[in-house]
Structure 1
Amino acid sequence: MKISGGVLALNYEKTTKHLIKEIKSEFKCRNAKRAVIGISGGLDSSIVLTLLAMSLGKSKIVPVFMPYRTTSKTSAEDAHLVCAHLSLNYEVKNITKQIDAYFKEEKNPGKNRIGNKCARERMSILYDISMRENGIVFGTSNRSEIVMGYGTIFGDLACAVNPIGSLYKTKLFKYA
């Protein structure tokens, strides 16, 4: 079966308007005061953060950068640049102490376990902040990650609203 490019084409203007409408609707129906989002400096969180700014305005967004000791300096710089570009303040919650404390007795927990624990710790922090702010947690997982199973249950997949969950990564590159 041959699939033409038109089948997978995306009208970016129409999609953006739809996502903004959906974000506003979710925000209103949940009676939220703030949108809480974990930022990494990567494409997905940058797009969702931008959509939130377009939908809700700067004062209603709480971006949170949560590095672990292996987080690259580039990620921190990129997260800062995106927030600066959008004129947003952001919180930094370093998760190194609690992750390392959890694995203290382990000889070699492995990268996957540490990565999954980091994802769950980050989501736990985001939900705590959402309680503090009377907010809702917005996710940043794209459709490609979801269909490939690239995500952590009760971690990055545990958001209340995921605006880009129906968009494939290949389509998100064009947003940048």
Structure 2
Amino acid sequence: MKKVFISLVVLFMLLTQTASTLSVMVDQEKTLIVSGKQNMIRYEVYQGAIDEHYVLRLYKDAQKGYTPQIRDIVVDLEVENGNLLSVAPAGKLDQNISQNKFYSSRGLNSQLKDEGLFLVFKTVPAENSGTVNITFSTTEYTQLSRSSETKVSDNISFEITN
């Protein structure tokens, strides 16, 4: 019971943090699980100090020249052979599947370049191990042609263990 209470307190603290303080918090207590780059977006998944907590960071390197405006990013999260207990910021959570949408009509580019977007989730494997699958899609708006294009990432997966 005490461990559950502490976990809830940590999750509440993460929910109330701004992006900059969350970034510092992530930098202090983290173990990098997986990282890479897809569709011009870099991603990193960290395991927190408490084993069941994970942080997904999506960010973009500063680029010179014209870049399309990213209007929204949708993150799909699924846990196989385990339980997805919570996700922050709150998105749709249905059994072991979650969908979270980050949106701005002015674009997410500056936020992606400054600190990035963060998704914190807590999961527990059912038996000895489980798998977390993450995909994300970006909708880019080009002002010159006034058109939008949606790009979907490949599956990002990693194992979780007891």
TM-score with structure 2 setting the length: 0.26
Which of the pair is proportionally richer in strand?
2
TM-score with structure 1 setting the length: 0.25
